[in-house]
Amino acid sequence: MFASLTASALACSATTASGASSALPYIGPAPMFDLIDQKGRPFSLRSTKGKVAVVTFIFTTCSATCPLLTAKLVRVQRDLGSEATNVIFAAITVDPLHDTPATLKTYAEAYRADMSHFVFLTRSIRQIEDVSRRYAVFREAQPSGDVDHTFLTSLIDRSGTLRVQYLGTKFDTEEFLHDVRSPLEERP
């Protein structure tokens, strides 16, 4: 059911035919998770209530798309300026066997992510598979060591409602920035 809701939300646009901005769609309650961040501390999506959350999936040894996505999200974080204090970015690894908290911390530092509002998350393979499935993210480890996975970035409002999801890495940064700001302007 969640996958069909996701497909419907991906088809929705935040802009009307006339070009006027409209409210983001509501998909439903965001799937909750409890993982470990790059400093080895517990992190729960519940802790983001009252803030906007951006949740995506990456792995640190990826040489193709993950670096592009990470760099794009770090840029968005910077472009938010002072508003960034009200947004939590969460990158969940799809390769928890390799991506330890220390590895994720090194990765975050390499991209100069502001780790006061950007967490890189891991846990056991079972827990990562569960979170991936609940976010409708396909993941499959390959014999080469790579991990095939869906590039899906979810935007969650301050009340914990999943609002919109971006598929791939070629989404427009300015549109994404507008969509991140949109729930910041809504009344809680």
- Quick one: angle between helices 173-185 and 65-79, nearest 10? 50
Q: How many residues does the chain have?
A: 188
Distance CA 68, CA 162 (A): 23
Residue spans per domain, the chain: 2-12+24-185
pLDDT over 60 at 16, yes or no: no
Better-predicted residue by pLDDT, 11 or 139: 139
Better-predicted residue by pLDDT, 168 or 111: 111
pLDDT tens-digit series, residues 88-100: 999 999 999 999 9
Domain 2-12+24-185 annotated CATH 3.40.30.10:
yes
Distance CA 4, CA 18 (A): 27
